[in-house]
Amino acid sequence: MTATSTISVSDLTKSYGTRNALDRLSLTVERGSRTVVLGHNGAGKSTLLEIIATLRTPTSGTVTVEGHDTVTHAREARRLIGLTPQANALDPLATPTEVLTFQGVALGLDRRVAARRTRNLLELFGLQDQHRTQISKLSGGTRRKVDLAVALVSEPPIVILDEPTTGLDPLSRLEFWNELRRLNQNDRTLLISTQDLHEADVLATDVVVLRDGAVTAQGSPESLKRWVGERTLTLGLTDELTTQTFLTSSRAPFRAETDEPRTVRLALSSDPEALKTALDDIGQFARGIEEFRLTEPSLDDVFVALAARGRGPEHLR
């Protein structure tokens, strides 16, 4: 555990019979991060999140939350965590106000404090107009907001969300992502599981890739993409002669494509001087350029590379 980490998982194994759902898994979650655990069906995401949230016990290994062991000091660890219920776990006949107040009282809050926090959360999520509507009559996106509000009643520094946007339409997902970004303030840590690479890309400050119960890569989306390949600038030129002239005169190391005679490519480094040189070259040749394309590896490419190479980088920031 470092000064900046809030959750530390060490050599964690969880066995169900002869099968290891988690297999000597180690990772740290940085305080204030949005850490997204990515993995296929059965990779072990829910098991990992539930052990961190003290809902399951490890077969071996340790998990600490702000230094509290989740087995020997489960109560202290649990107090720091807000957990969103799984989709459709709320009482369909209750209203958002009832659900939130009940949660507050169940957590041991004074009824008035629970009522105040409920009002604040309803306002935070723009749910004031629906606070007396039965959960069963709310849209899926609104229900997920209530789920999230439930996790926040205790004002926890860590919020754990297991596949929170499953079943939401694209617009509700965008809205939900914005809510999550807003919640990730004042050093609050979000730990989120998903199978959706795009969700991980737009949401995560840190991605943990799980496969068969082990971490195969960890890092920021940018660093994982850099690991798999570089950003590339592709130019399409008007004809082959122009392409040859461009290649001879350009100072930046553009490469010709053998199978596409009017196309040149440049792997872009992050060095500003190199970029400036390339842009100068392009400016000089503007009239001979028909097409201009900037491409960068995606998390899909990272997944393909991980499948081929077995393991990726760990703890890249």
Q: Which is nearer to ligand ATP, 30 or 50 (CB)?
A: 50
Q: Which is nearer to ligand ATP, 40 or 317 (CB)?
A: 40
Which residues are within 8 A (CB) of 171 and not within 5 positions of it... i.e. 6 or more apart?
Answer: 141
Q: Which is nearer to ligand ATP, 15 or 220 (CB)?
A: 15
- Least distance from ligand ATP to the Cβ atom of residue 141, Å: 21
44 is a site residue for ligand ATP (CB under 6 A): yes
**Contacts with ligand ATP in 214-243 (CB under 6 A)?**
none
Q: Which is nearer to ligand ATP, 45 or 173 (CB)?
A: 45
Where is 58: in which H helix or E strand? Answer: none
**Contacts with ligand ATP in 98-157 (CB under 6 A)?**
none
Candidates 42-50, 230-238, 275-283, 291-299; binding stretch for ligand ATP (CB under 6 A): 42-50
- Least distance from ligand ATP to the Cβ atom of residue 210, Å: 7
In the block, residue with structure tokens 């105040």: 116
85 is a site residue for ligand ATP (CB under 6 A): no
- Least distance from ligand ATP to the Cβ atom of residue 191, Å: 13
- Least distance from ligand ATP to the Cβ atom of residue 195, Å: 6
Candidates 36-44, 75-83, 128-136, 306-314; binding stretch for ligand ATP (CB under 6 A): 36-44
User: Helices in the chain by DSSP H: which ranges?
Assistant: 45-52, 74-79, 96-106, 111-124, 140-152, 170-183, 197-203, 221-228, 240-249, 272-284, 299-309
Q: Which is nearer to ligand ATP, 21 or 305 (CB)?
A: 21
Q: Find how far residue 121's CA is from the centre of its chain.
A: 23
3-state SS class at 54: coil
- The CB density around residue 259, as the number of other CB atoms within 10 Å, is 5
Which tokens is 141 given? 């996106």
**Contacts with ligand ATP in 192-211 (CB under 6 A)?**
195
Phi and psi torsions of 248, nearest 5°: -70, -35
Cβ atoms of residues 123 and 136 within 8 Å: no
Cβ atoms of residues 183 and 144 within 8 Å: no
Phi and psi torsions of 288, nearest 5°: -90, 0
Closest C-alpha to 49, from 91, 23, 81: 81
Contacting residue, 35, 39, 125, 204, with ligand ATP by CB under 6 A = 39
Contacting residue, 46, 84, 95, 154, with ligand ATP by CB under 6 A = 46
271 is a site residue for ligand ATP (CB under 6 A): no
What is the binding site for ligand ATP (CB under 6 A)? 16, 21, 39, 41-47, 195
